[in-house]
Homo-oligomer: A and B are copies of this chain.
Amino acid sequence: MSDREIKVYKDLMGANAEWAAKTRELLKEKGIRMLNLIGSPGSGKTALLEKTAEMLGENRKFAVLEGDVETTRDAERLDCLNVPVSQLLTGGACHLEAKLVHHALIDLDLDALDLVFVENVGNMVCPAEFDVGENAKIAVLSITEGEDKPLKYPLLFREAGAVVLSKTDLAPHLDLDIRDYEKHIWQVHSGVPVLRVSARTGEGLDRWIAEIVKAGQ
């Protein structure tokens, strides 16, 4: 019985890796970068994308692949921003897999894009385990979640190319020292860039935009 379980797990991950490799090849051919946003429900991933579209204005050449368990609410939130948005529903699963992302990607007008955001299912654990062919994973962590989270859920932070520390406007109302977040993030992934951001006040958005413009080049 346990042999069979391990076998199937390997098969699944094998298939996922193949689709991810296919995606990576396609992105390279088209000169597109793909960033995979991962964080808990309510960590601020959709708000960050809303602000990104607003700030890039006419210069936006990006699309969003919006992963959710159910509902099209996030895709609807983004729809008014005039960027291509596709809704990926996992039908109960807690993460996106590479095959679904690949099929959504090839339906986009790729020649008109230089950047694709994947907004993964709200979950700090499982999405970090699945390569979907992205160029980088971006961890999004709200400061309301507690400064111990990078230590408790280290895989995401180890895998991340950058960490967005969101909702910094709430710091005065919480019993915390925001530097503890950075200390714990760097403890599991030394030197990874940490961007303090508030979609509400605008803090840190300039640096975020500079980073993703760079990523899209």
List the interface of chain A (C-beta within 8 A of B): 1, 4-5, 8, 11-12, 40-42, 68-71, 73-74, 92, 94, 121-126, 129, 142, 144-146, 148-149, 151-155, 167, 169-170, 173-175, 200
Contacts and interface: CB of A to CB of B under 8 A. Distances in A.
Contact of A125 (B94, B146, B151): B94
B4 A69 contact: no
How many copies of this chain does the complex contain? 2
A92 B142 CA distance: 22
A146 B11 contact: no
23 contacts: A40-B41, A40-B42, A40-B122, A40-B124, A40-B145, A41-B145, A41-B152, A42-B144, A42-B145, A69-B152, A70-B154, A71-B152, A73-B151, A74-B152, A94-B125, A122-B125, A122-B152, A122-B153, A123-B126, A125-B126, A170-B173, A170-B174, A173-B173
Nearest to A40: B40
Contacts of A152: 41, 68-71, 73-74, 122
Contacts of A12: 5
Given A69-B125, A70-B154, A42 B149 contact: yes
A79 to B, nearest CB: 15
Given A73-B152, A152-B73, A41 B11 contact: no
Nearest to A68: B152
A124 B95 CA distance: 12
Q: 3 closest pairs, A vs B, by CB?
A: A42-B145, A94-B125, A144-B144
B92 A94 contact: no
Contacts of A153: 41, 69-70, 122
Nearest to A151: B71
B122 A144 contact: no
A123 B124 contact: yes
Contacts of A11: 1
